Amino acid sequence: MVHNVASQDGLSGKRVVVTGGTKGIGAGIAARLAGAGASVLVAARSAPERELPANVRFVKADLSTESGVAGLAAEALEILGGVDVIVDNAGGAVPATSGIADLTEEHWHDAYQLNVMAAVRLDRALLPGMLERGSGVIIHISSIAALRAESSLVHYGAAKAALNAYSKSLATEVAPRGVRVNRIAPGLIKTEAVDSFVQHIQDTQGLDQEAALGTLHELVGGIPAGREGKPADIANVVAFLASDQAEWIVGAEFRIDGGSVRQVS
């Protein structure tokens, strides 16, 4: 259930674009912001399978392509009349069958196009309006995979590490002109994509579902909090970062992982 918390969030009337916003984390973010009174436009390759919440509209776009992102940016400006908040959430990668040697040129290319260039292109298209107004928020959804040496998803982790570097540099450049850029690094969040990866582990390692899920917990370093995350765990942090309550937070990374990442950095 999404509660209307517009008065405490200060998000009422904000114009928001959420990429990859029809499933998983993206859908949770869209519902949370719309419930706070924002007008939200979500984009994905395919139409949503479930009815969208009130205040949420959908644009079909392949965000791994330059033309797809350009089309989304044009539609966002036409439909919303401007964009106050960008949530660059689209991401993912096809895991290697058995190791790094199995990753093809296409694996690497696709991972970078979706996890890095989709954000770079959309930000580049919509940032001028924010800079002209002297206000705006960009939130990049990264991953703790950027910190973990996991061979079957090394291309995904490398792409998210590149996204982190880009995000930090952009934050430093545009903060003096009123635009805040931050990023979130989710841990293991219970989504359709995670369910697919569990199935991949079952198929490639001959494990049952429980054992495959246990293997996935080990891959993220364990979860001291005792459970996988929920999309709402990420969406609540996005709502905070998009609000004026976070007006002095710039270039920061928020790890939302139940304690999986143990090192101090």
Distance in Å from the first CA to the final CA of the chain = 36
- Going by C-alpha positions, the residue among 23, 131, 133, 122 that lies closest to residue 63 is 122
Q: Are 221 and 255 in contact (CB under 8 A)?
A: no
CATH number, domain 6-187+231-250, options 3.40.50.300, 3.40.50.720, 3.20.20.140, 3.30.565.10: 3.40.50.720
Q: Where are the alpha helices (DSSP H) in the chain?
A: 6-9, 24-35, 66-80, 105-112, 118-133, 154-174, 192-205, 209-219, 231-242
Q: Which two tokens stand for residue 122?
A: 């959309």
Please tell me what DSSP assigns to residue 2.
Answer: -
What are the angstrom distances between the C-alpha of 233 and each of 117, 188, 246? 26, 11, 17
The verdict on whether 156 is a catalytic residue reads: yes
pLDDT tens, per residue, the chain with 265 residues: 444 444 457 899 999 999 999 999 999 999 999 999 999 999 999 999 889 999 999 999 999 999 999 999 999 999 999 999 999 999 999 888 888 999 999 999 999 999 999 999 999 999 999 999 999 999 999 999 999 877 888 999 999 999 999 999 999 999 999 999 999 999 999 988 888 878 878 888 889 888 888 888 887 889 999 999 999 999 999 999 999 999 999 999 999 999 999 888 6
Specify the 3-state DSSP secondary structure of 202.
helix
* CB neighbour class for 180 (10 Å; exposed up to 12, middle 13-18, buried from 19): buried
Identify the active-site residue in 112, 156, 166, 197: 156
Report the half-sphere exposure of 47 (CA within 13 A, side-chain side). Answer: 3
SS3 category, 189: strand
Handedness of CA 21, 25, 31, 32 (dihedral sign): negative
* pLDDT tens, position by position, 129-183: 999 999 999 999 999 999 987 788 899 999 999 999 999 999 999 999 999 999 9
Give the tokens for residue 109: 């290319």
List, in order, residues 6 or more apart from 149 with CB less than 8 Å away: 157
Structure tokens at 7: 């008065």
* Euclidean distance between CA atoms 96 and 172, whole angstroms: 35
The two three-digit tokens of residue 184, written as one number: 């979130």
Strands 15-19 and 179-186: unpaired
Contact 168, 142 (CB under 8 A): no
How is the chain split into domains, by residue range? Answer: 6-187+231-250, 190-228
Q: How far apart are CA 118 and CA 130, in angstroms?
A: 18
Of 139, 140, 117, nearest to 62 (Cα)? Answer: 117
